[in-house]
Chains A and B, each alone.
Chain A
Amino acid sequence: MVLFFRRIYAMILRHVYLFMCSWPRVLELIYWPFLNMVLWAYMSKFLSEYSNIFLMASGVLIACVIMWDTLFRGQLGVTLSFIEELWSRNLGNIAVSPLKPIELVLSLIVASFLRTLVGVGGAGIAAYFLFDFHLPLFGIGFILFFINLLIMGWALGLAICALLIRFGLSAETFAWAALFFIQPLCGVFYPVSVLPEWLQPFSLIIPATYIFEGMRLAFFDGVFGIDLLLKACLINIIYIFVGVSLLLFSYSHAKRNGLLLGNGE
């Protein structure tokens, strides 16, 4: 058991070292979430001068963007941590080592959590000091919203890692683009009800939809949507199960087909 944790620790250490050696990577972590937050904060300020809705729920756009970044950075954290091994042609060394595939999965998740904490946490703190931004005080409820977004990001990130193992770096585009494909569907900045009716059922199978709806409910009506949280949790259980399974399956496929030593472009 000690070795199990030590191997995961080794993989986390690898990413911590990488960030210690590369300040541009640290800046990149903080830069985009911060920039996004500032942009939407000023947009929110502008809109609140003309719209009662934004005046009533000041900060809703900042919350939207911070929560979206939690989801995006969660996914990107998993995928980029894995892509680093492909970029550095190190996957062969890792495959030969005693690290088990499930330990690789756990290490990617922890690495993603730390990346997201630095990136989005930084933007959240900046929003607090620069724009007097506060999340509605629902105690642990809102933390669970964030955790659900992270889990969905991890699930998607692991699925993309499965593609990277299968197709090498030619699948890298998915790391950056996949989540933006579902962004219009999960109602980050608007309620799902504005979507065409035929599109709305697709929204309902995305856990983030319920989280963003729940967030708006909290801001506009001051109500914590526990039912929305539960729905997100239930779908997320399926998502994370599928994400982990896809990566393990892809790893096993790579073992049958010799993709672990020569993975690259």
Chain B
Amino acid sequence: MKVTQNINLSSNIDVSVKNVYKNFGDIKAVFDISFSVEKSKTLGLLGSNGAGKTTTIMMLMGILKATSGEIKILDQDVYKYRNKIAKEINFSSPFVELPHRLTVLQNLNVFGHLYGVKSLADKIHKLSMDLDILDLLKRRVGKLSAGQKTRVSLAKSLINDPKILFLDEPTASLDPDHADWIRTYLEQYQDRTGATFILASHNMPEVERLCHNVIMMGRGKVIESGTPKNLISRYKSTDLEEVFLQLARNDKV
């Protein structure tokens, strides 16, 4: 019998992670992590390279299987209901690119169809206006600057009006002006749509600005969590970067 279950929109928790482990052979990439993310909030995942952030994001998106533990996205098991959940989430990362030879419009068309977007032409037009990429639609992605590519990648990730958006270093390699533009856009988008963000970043001012809650990971474990303000005061620091450095120099992250 086919099991059907509608996505629960009444719950206030969009992401729930309980006792999740991920081993790659003998390597413990993620070790007993648990956390949850409320609807319309932004969670920042921080940690040094190799701390387990990307592994965690991949598990949350359902494209990497946890060794054990439970991950619920929109109140549903991410592996059991992966296909249903995939329609409600999206992802943007400068490290995963869109086909360079296709134009921006062609890329958005392809992903719009992949996500089953209704009134796709209107949707692309609206996103292009919002993200200021109207002039870029007929240009090849490979010919764009880093800032333009980031905006196009963001347009792709918003094509399906995701309820949860995963952002992996959304402003990496952008100049301060473009980075600020993206952050402002993300804030406004969240206010407007109530989307939930999971953000992995090494940029501490960005995390302070965008994230309601922060998880610091080190060697696959959650070693600290709380609001940015809370962490700053707990570590008697002036900003989140100092907190991160204190933890890093104590060899925790």
Contact = CB atoms under 8 A, between A and B. Distances in A.
Interface stretch (A14-22, A41-49, A65-73, A157-165): A14-22
Contacts of B3: none
A99 B99 contact: no
A260 B93 CA distance: 14
4 closest cross-chain pairs (CB), A and B: A10-B113, A92-B96, A98-B86, A88-B99
B48 interface: no
A9 interface: yes
B191 interface: no
Which of A7, A257, A258 is most buried by chain B, counting CB atoms within 10 A of its CB? A258
A18 B63 contact: no
B54 interface: yes
Interface in A89-132: 89-100
Contact of A21 (B116, B140, B166): B140
Contacts of A22: 101
A257 B29 CA distance: 11
A97 B96 contact: no
B109 interface: yes
A99 B113 CA distance: 10
B150 to A, nearest CB: 14
Contact of B96 (A84, A93, A255): A93
Contacts of B91: 92-93, 96
Interface of B is mostly: mixed
B65 interface: yes
A38 interface: no
Contacts of A9: 113
Which of B58, B89, B102, B110 is most buried by chain A, counting CB atoms within 10 A of its CB? B110
Interface of B: 24, 54-55, 58, 61, 63-65, 83, 86-87, 89-91, 93, 95-103, 106, 109-116, 140, 156, 166
Given A89-B97, A261-B54, A96 B113 contact: no
A6 B93 CA distance: 25
Given A96-B86, A258-B24, A89 B96 contact: yes
19 contacts: A9-B113, A10-B112, A10-B113, A11-B110, A13-B106, A14-B102, A17-B102, A89-B96, A90-B96, A92-B96, A96-B61, A96-B86, A96-B90, A96-B91, A97-B86, A98-B114, A98-B115, A100-B83, A261-B58
A185 to B, nearest CB: 37
Given A88-B100, A90-B98, A90-B99, A6 B116 contact: yes
Nearest to A25: B101
B61 A97 contact: no
A88 B113 CA distance: 19
B102 A21 contact: yes
Contacts of B100: 88
A83 to B, nearest CB: 12
A3 to B, nearest CB: 5
A104 to B, nearest CB: 11
Contacts of A261: 54, 58, 63-64, 95-96
Contact of A260 (B63, B86, B109, B166): B63
Contacts of B89: 96
